[in-house]
Structure 1
Amino acid sequence: MRTLNVGILAHVDAGKTSLTERLLYAAGVIDELGRVDNGDTQTDTLALERQRGITIKSAVVSFVIDDVLVNLIDTPGHPDFIAEVERVLDVLDGAVLVVSAVEGVQAQTRVLMRTLRRLGVPTLLFVNKVDRTGARDDAVLREIAEKLSPSTAPVNLVRGSGTRDAHVVPYRGDDPTFTTRLVEVLADHDEEMLARFVDGATIPTARLRTSFAALSRQGLVYPVLFGSAITGTGVAELMSAMTELLPAATGDADGPVSGTVFKIERGAGGEKIAYVRMHTGTLRTRDRVSFGPDKDAKVTSISVFERGTASPSPLVRAGRIAKVWGLADVQIGDRIGATRHRSRRPYVPPPSLEAVIVPRRAADRGRLHAALSQLAEQDPLINLRQEDGRQELLVSLYGDVQKEVIQATLADDYGIDVEFRETTTVCVERPIGVGAAVEFLGAHRVSTHHSVAPTTAEPNPFLATVGLRVEPAPTGSGIQFRLEVEPGAMPPAFFKAVEESVRQTLRQGLYGWEVIDCLVTMTHAGYAARQGRRGVTFDPRVSSSANDFRALTPLVLMAALRRAGTGVLEPLHRFRLEVPSDTVGALLPTLATVDAVPRTQRDLGTTWVLEGDIPAARVRALQSRLPGLTRGEGILESGFDRYAPVRGRIPVRPRTDHNPLNRKEYLRNVRRT
């Protein structure tokens, strides 16, 4: 049996979860339809999802269409949970993007489609709610071509749109409207068809269908289907299109084990459960597998998704999705086994907000840290931090809805009542010059080129020599570490300790923000060899250990970074505003007050479209003023675009480490721990 792993995505309230429910019902997996309003759907299993009527966590359900096993992954629709969506994209064979026939193409719809196109995920567009009053099938079709992709073609049409009797009928092969549109779309990607189209030759219907299916499976054209999740019209056609127009999973079940972890949850006993998409090979219980950087564990149990639920199984083969137990240290995004799978590498925009979270009962402080640590396993971008000075916990956020969800989850699942205090924008630092520093082993000084001054005249209290040079790296390259000393100059474990310490230390730069796009080169290395005769117990007082290098590296690195200097950058969003033409005059001065800079403006007759940049910290201010300035008709889209230098006073974030910028404080803290 073939396997098809499909994600279902949409703007919030487009009917995505209702469509998932209808698919399960049509496939015979459930006997009765659940409703989002009633809180009894199959995929919204969290209490908070049922209460709010929104999807917060991705969920996997399965059903069979003919000879194809479909694993359907229902994803969140609210933009605050975009990271949850993007993590799923790397494990999909295809996607269904749901568009409302009433609201049309909405802000999040565009964001999702841009991501799907960028990653090359084959996608079907399902226009839902054709039975609802106000449904605009023809207008929505034009919006899809204009705002999502011109490479779209409808495969059915609606009769009785906007009524309870609305139903869909397939286009016939001899329908000139259908064939002309289809040929135009296919000709952009099919040279033979383009030639026949230009020559005016008749193209057989079978040839059109073959080309359409092939290009759809490659993610080059996007079929559009109409229907209603509530009445069920068009759902059978969607199910047929999924097996015909989306590519089935591939992968050699006899090859090396390779998989991707895209979700983590905790079981009833607190055990960690990893959701794994297998790319190649066969994973069995009791197999010992590697994952992440230098980790391995034994698989203790497996449940494979099939026919509506996850059932215990001794193995999971390539192409399938399974829940795996036993990988206690696994994290979201880890590769299981071999890494030959070519990742689509979805770009998850970083959270632009950080908030202080405190328990309303002081006695819950320890429990709160443990609970947030578990939530960070399920969503690594929460990025839990503790500020040592004020003993406060901080979490990273995308928006206010995510804040409400964290608050409710802590109350419902952990019994911890919390409140959020000040919320700030998350900035980053980037080196602006080149700086170097070195500290030599005190009593066992090594020979070196004295091109770099020691970091201090004070003695080096650690049994290690570390020299580092810091310089800017290309934008988007992250932290790079390389050696300028011979790899054999000291044991590999010591080099590894230095690199790990470098990466850990650069989470807080000169102003307390994470350092990005930085090249760190190790220029000096030295150690005290193991002392004593053969068979004599290791003496840490006169022999170097990895801990010496871990402890010394932050002092040297921050000294080099101070000499290089850093600039603080704030997140900048790219915005798109669609407003009535007669409101532009009043809107432009407001854009200036929130530091938004329009880059392009287009007059579309009754509406104007403005695109430009706005600091992330000012987006909410623009959102709050927009309805009053545009009679409630303005539509704002925004999303992280890049980092830009902070204008005005440089913000400083309190440190949560041992503060290697202050030598005496750092050494005192290190000795204490």
Structure 2
Amino acid sequence: MASDISKIRNIGIIAHIDAGKTTVTERMLYLSGAKHRVGRVDHGTTDTDDDPEEQERGITIFSACVKYSWNAFNINLLDTPGHVDFTAEVERCLRVLDGAVVVFSAREGVEAQSETVWRQADRYSVPRIVFINKMDREGASFESVLNDIGPRLGGKPVPIEIPVGEGPSHVKDPFRGVIDLIDLKMLEFDPSTEGKEVREKEIPAELLDDAKLWREQMLEAVYDLSEEAALMAMEEKEVPREMIIAALRSGVIERKIQVLLCGSALHGIGVQPLMTAVGNFLPSPLDRPPVEGIDPKKPETTLIRKPDPSEPFCGLVFKILPAKTGDNYWIRVYSGVLKQNSRVQCPNRNKKENIAQIWQIHATKKDRDGQTDSVTAGDIACVIGPRFAITGDTVCDSSALIELPSINFAESVLSMAIEPESTADKKKLEEALDMLRRQDPTFHAQENEESGQTLISGMGELHLEVIQHRLTRDFGLNVKFYKPRVNYRETIGGSADVVGVCNRQMGATQMFARLSVKISPLDNPSAPVLVFDRLPPDAPISNTVRDAAMNELRERAAGGGLLAGFPLSGVKLEAYAAEVAEEGSDEIAFRIAAGDAFDRGLEEAGPVLLEPVMKVEVTTPDNYMGELVGDLQQRRAIIAGTESRGEMTVITAHAPLKEMFGYSGAVRSLSQGRAGSSMEPLGYQPAPKADADAFLM
């Protein structure tokens, strides 16, 4: 393991689906010498897409970690999925990364999932650099993508390279290299060596003026970042190369700018400068703020841990890969040293964990030659031995407890009923679902004892389809699968002021309680339910009775709404008055009164069924736009906007998930295979009355 923390780079490759993330990763491994042949996504031979499902579909489904060295830097690289159904994989990776490379296709530019991953990186304050890939594709446009990043993502890209030509070999001016704006040199990449041999040459005369103009724009950004460089410019002195790199590096780490490069990963053009840029511009663990957490015994106390081996150990579990020989726990070490055959504490579960083995990771497996005795602050490793921790949990030194912020994942939007074909498969199914739950935080499974069916939930059709294939192929189960259904929610349409009553005889005791509750909708219908104790301090009930009433309201809210028991959201409950009798006004009586108030309040306020809404982005040639817009409107979609991107038109719409089953196939059919679409969860809206009435029948 690396001992020099300043040379560690924990980076992720993030992008929209098909922008070329895995191809970039594969080329980096080859050029660094970590592998001897370049794998191809379309051949199913890449290191990071090693699952059969990924190889069949030609997409990344599971995040994968690879290690390589470049220019004395030790890189932990996480390749992430681009499909929105697997956005949890991006979420968990960004939570533990220090920097990211955002990949854009030079043809498609900033796409829907590009915006999603950019926002995720913003949420975790991850510095990033930009790589415009596929410069050799038909319709590639460097400036179009560059000009989109600011207005659409709120980014501030600073090109440190420009392309020489654009498009495939048959066009008039094809893409054939890059111009390095820092050194003002042209770089050509030898195709016979898969881009390993880079030739540096003087910039041709016909390109020199343009290159100098671009370099001046880069230097303007440098002057904004460095007073020393600005003073040198005012004195008409040449700004040294080292000062330019230092200024740009500070700008990237402080998230003021994103340096931008370009190339074609498939043909090895521009990838070596990108690898150098990762070391030069993205932060080491030492460049990031110390990690903050709370003291589990005193939650109001904030603790920090610096990326220093001398600090007490703490780390975060960000991925679990179930295995029969012992689950593989991927851990980012934030401080201290984690040693093999040691014991650590998991404060989230209040359990001690064994660290039996520590391994380096290669793709989604342990590196065959990578077992190690210890792993130090700033690094990422695979650990075997823990049993209780789950994704997002902290592991730390038991003598210096700290609980780091966990990882928040989006809620599932689609469910499917399944049931085993035979009793013999029932136990196997339970074990398989438990294994999948440990691996995937966005996958949920709940058994209905009355019907014998199990309801599995995920992030979309593709997510559930992958789960279905894993159960039948990987686990060899005979399982019946039913049609997917939408995960609705419930809220209320108005406000109500109600009094919940308990007035009943129980044995020899006459029980009595009255609880006045106001129920009202929140501005955001998908926000969590809020329960407030507004009872005056001199209310005639004890603290234990008061707590019992409040707990009953919270438990009833967590149990779902009145229509069909779907999760309740967007509701505020306020208990503000209570009445008691001389006898019989105990905890049980007030629990009954609180439950009665809850039911009355929901009924009087008017239950409302909420359906999930998706943000849909369709990219199509102009001549298919009419058919696609018409089809979206038939699906109850609202067209939010259209814009031209080169020869294509992008339609943005907001559509109910219920109407979007099988939509990707419909898009291909309506456009003769020339249009594409992507979806991501947007929020919730009231469902049609007919849908709500169906649950009342």
Q: TM-score range by the shorter chain?
A: 0.7 to 0.9
Question: Does residue 1:506 correspond to 2:558, yes or no?
Answer: yes
- Give the CA deviation at 1:281: 3.5
For each residue in 1:360-385, what CA deviation from the matched residue of structure 2 results, as whole angstroms up to 9, or x when unmatched?
55642332232112111111222112
Partner of 2:456: 395
Could you state the TM-score of these two structures normalised by the residue count of structure 2?
0.74
For each residue in 1:323-365, what CA deviation from the matched residue of structure 2 results, as whole angstroms up to 9, or x when unmatched?
233332222222334556567x66x433221111234556423
| Separation in structure 2 between the aligned mates of residue 556 and residue 94 of structure 1, nearest angstrom | 53
Matches within 5 A, 1:403-442: 403-430=464-491, 433=495, 437=500
CA contact (8 A) 1:183 1:193 kept: no
* Displacement over 6 Å in runs of 4+: 193-203, 438-441, 443-448, 468-471, 481-488, 494-498, 520-525, 552-557, 603-607, 652-655
Of 247, 251, 255, which aligns to 2:311? 255
Partner of 2:608: 567
CA contact (8 A) 1:304 1:321 kept: no
CA contact (8 A) 2:500 2:594 kept: yes
For each residue in 1:520-564, what CA deviation from the matched residue of structure 2 results, as whole angstroms up to 9, or x when unmatched?
789999xxxxxxxxxxxxxxxxxx9xxx99xx9997765443122
Of 641, 648, 653, which aligns to 2:682? 641
Q: Gaps (5+ residues) in structure 2?
A: 185-210, 287-306, 579-585
CA contact (8 A) 1:358 1:419 kept: yes
Question: Does residue 1:268 correspond to 2:321, yes or no?
Answer: no
Q: Gaps (5+ residues) in structure 1?
A: 454-467, 526-543, 656-673
2:660 counterpart SS class: helix
- Greater shift in the superposed pair: 233-242 or 137-146: 137-146
What amino acid sits opposite 1:323 in the alignment?
Answer: C
Sort the Cα spacing of 1:589 and 1:254 in 2 relative to 1 into closer, same or farther, 3 A: same
Partner of 1:239: 275
Question: Does residue 1:282 correspond to 2:337, yes or no?
Answer: yes
Partner of 1:94: 99
Sort the Cα spacing of 1:121 and 1:288 in 2 relative to 1 into closer, same or farther, 3 A: closer
| Separation in structure 1 between the aligned mates of residue 598 and residue 448 of structure 2, nearest angstrom | 22
CA RMSD of aligned residues (A): 4.4
- Give the CA deviation at 1:415: 0.9
CA contact (8 A) 2:156 2:257 kept: yes
- Give the CA deviation at 1:629: 5.6
Sort the Cα spacing of 1:503 and 1:157 in 2 relative to 1 into closer, same or farther, 3 A: farther
| Separation in structure 2 between the aligned mates of residue 561 and residue 19 of structure 1, nearest angstrom | 55
- Give the CA deviation at 1:135: 5.0
| Separation in structure 2 between the aligned mates of residue 598 and residue 341 of structure 1, nearest angstrom | 42
What amino acid sits opposite 2:569 in the alignment?
Answer: I
Partner of 2:291: none
Of 434, 441, 444, which aligns to 1:383? 444
Aligned length: 610
What amino acid sits opposite 2:427 in the alignment?
Answer: G
Sort the Cα spacing of 1:584 and 1:405 in 2 relative to 1 into closer, same or farther, 3 A: closer
- Give the CA deviation at 1:241: 0.6
Partner of 1:618: 659
Partner of 2:30: 25
- Greater shift in the superposed pair: 56-65 or 128-137: 128-137
| Separation in structure 1 between the aligned mates of residue 634 and residue 590 of structure 2, nearest angstrom | 44
- Give the CA deviation at 1:94: 0.8
- Greater shift in the superposed pair: 474-483 or 59-68: 474-483
Partner of 1:663: none
| Separation in structure 2 between the aligned mates of residue 126 and residue 603 of structure 1, nearest angstrom | 22
For each residue in 1:114-172, what CA deviation from the matched residue of structure 2 results, as whole angstroms up to 9, or x when unmatched?
43244432122223344566655455445555655551132223346534993334124
Matches within 5 A, 1:144-543: 144=149, 147-148=152-153, 151-159=156-164, 161=166, 162-163=168-169, 166-172=176-182, 175-183=211-219, 190=225, 204=239, 206=241, 207-250=243-286, 251-269=307-325, 271-284=326-339, 285-292=341-348, 294-305=349-360, 310=367, 311-337=370-396, 338-339=401-402, 341=404, 348-361=409-422, 363-430=424-491, 433=495, 437=500, 450-452=513-515, 475=524, 478-479=528-529, 502=554, 506-510=558-562, 511-517=564-570
2:462 counterpart SS class: helix
- Give the CA deviation at 1:495: 7.2
What amino acid sits opposite 2:113 in the alignment?
Answer: Q
Question: Does residue 1:78 correspond to 2:83, yes or no?
Answer: yes
CA contact (8 A) 1:279 1:341 kept: no
1:422 counterpart SS class: coil
What amino acid sits opposite 2:378 in the alignment?
Answer: G
Q: Percent identity?
A: 27
- Give the CA deviation at 1:97: 2.1
1:299 counterpart SS class: strand
2:483 counterpart SS class: strand
Partner of 1:593: 634
Sort the Cα spacing of 1:364 and 1:222 in 2 relative to 1 into closer, same or farther, 3 A: same
- Greater shift in the superposed pair: 172-181 or 474-483: 474-483
- Give the CA deviation at 1:276: 1.6
2:442 counterpart SS class: helix
| Separation in structure 2 between the aligned mates of residue 223 and residue 199 of structure 1, nearest angstrom | 24
| Separation in structure 2 between the aligned mates of residue 497 and residue 260 of structure 1, nearest angstrom | 37
